[in-house]
Amino acid sequence: MTAWNIRGLNRPLKQSEVRLLVSENKLSVCALLESHVDISKLAKNHRGNPLPKKRIILGWNADVVDIMILAQSDQVIHAQVFSKADNHSVFVSFVYAKNKYQERRTLWDNLCKHKGFCYNKPWVVMGDFNSALHIEDSLNGPSTPSIGMREFNDCVQYAELMDIKGHGLHYTWNQKPSNGVGLLKKIDRVMGNMKFLEMFKDAYVLYHPFRISDHTPCILKIAPSAKFRPKPFKFANFITSKPEFRLCVEKEWAKRVDGYTMFAVTQKLRNLKPYLRKILFNQGKLHDKVADLRKQLDDIQMRIDNNPLDANLRNMEAQCL
């Protein structure tokens, strides 16, 4: 699926580029932002749900996916995308944020409220946010975050969203002046919640070249999903008594992991697994050891039956147990 600020769709050249993008990337869902298209013409040629003021147009291939529109405003469409091929569904919010940071506050509030609806379900938020998120998202930008950036970041942190790994261009918007290099910013992005990142580990975003727009298309690729069952974090309890256990936990917990708190915790637990497996491996073949001890215990208890007053045998039994 893709979200692309096309900056007008009435010109045949731009219509041709959209068709080519859909064809080349085999897209089943396409959100076009700032299309300026006439809704009366759209209904003849497209399946989709145009918003008033024509800010966001959402189209899809009905042979591949079913889409349920859950809610919409002038800055976001909330939808549920159901894949017919593998019966998985993903909640997706297609965003086209307003230019002024004061007007974007209603969008951030909307996304934060929608997080409650998508709790523990895979959720993607994608589109043109009209704001950089990090200092490095702007070429020759300010040295400190602006009010708009801070409010955007507060929304992302509260909604527990993270950038899905991307390829291609870093700066997604360029201002093309008559002279000079202009501005370059990353204001278009694709983010997912923890559930989405767990279920679709191979998902990635292609930030395609601009071509005929001043924004890059954000193309989300989701591989067909296998049946997902989260694996619990388990280890043998006895290794907590080993001195190396506390050392490796302290070392891993001291590392910095960027992202919201729950993601940092799960990432550190994931990173601990190989160390805990090594501690377990160093103990040798535990099942064989237990089997040997069981045989010893049987032998000792048989000897106790013959010599019930032997205190040494009683001590050996206690140690074996």
Secondary structure letter of residue 305 according to DSSP: H
Question: Bigger pLDDT: 46 or 194?
Answer: 194
Cα 76 to Cα 3: distance, rounded to the nearest angstrom: 12
How does pLDDT run across 149-185, given as a tens digit for each residue?
A: 999 999 999 999 999 999 999 999 988 665 666 688 9
24 Cβ neighbours under 8 A, 6+ residues apart = none
Kindly give the residue spans of alpha helices, DSSP state H, lying in 164-217: 194-199
- CA-nearest of 131, 116, 156, 126 to 222 is 126
Q: Supply the DSSP string of 22-33, one letter for each residue.
A: HHHHT-SEEEEE
Where in the chain does DSSP place strands (E)?
2-5, 29-33, 56-60, 65-72, 76-83, 89-96, 123-128, 161-163, 166-168, 173-174, 184-185, 188-193, 204-207, 218-221
Residue 187 has pLDDT above 90, yes or no: yes
What are the structure tokens assigned to 11, written together? Answer: 């010109």
How does pLDDT run across 1-48, given as a tens digit for each residue?
A: 999 998 888 888 888 889 999 999 999 999 999 888 766 655 544 444
How does pLDDT run across 195-229, given as a tens digit for each residue?
A: 999 899 899 999 988 888 889 999 999 976 555 56
Query: For helices 311-320 and 286-306, what crossing angle results, to 10°?
Result: 160
Q: How far apart are the first and last CA of the chain?
A: 60
- pLDDT band at 285, cuts 50/70/90? confident
Secondary structure letter of residue 226 according to DSSP: P
Mean per-residue pLDDT, 275-281 = 85
Residue in this structure with the two tokens 């992202």, named with its chain if needed: 259
Residue 54 has pLDDT above 70, yes or no: no
The answer to whether 31 and 60 have CB atoms below 8 angstroms apart is no
Residue in this structure with the two tokens 């994608």, named with its chain if needed: 126
What are the structure tokens assigned to 253, written together? Answer: 């917990």
- CA-nearest of 147, 127, 8 to 78 is 127
Residue in this structure with the two tokens 């994931």, named with its chain if needed: 270
pLDDT of residue 180: 61
Domain ranges of the chain: 2-221, 237-281, 286-320
Q: Which CATH architecture has domain 2-221?
A: 4-Layer Sandwich (3.60)
pLDDT of residue 50: 45
**Exposed/middle/buried for 183, CB within 10 Å: 0-12, 13-18, 19+?**
middle
- CA-nearest of 155, 153, 185 to 170 is 185
Top mean pLDDT of 38-42, 107-111, 158-162, 247-251 is at: 107-111
- pLDDT band at 92, cuts 50/70/90? very high
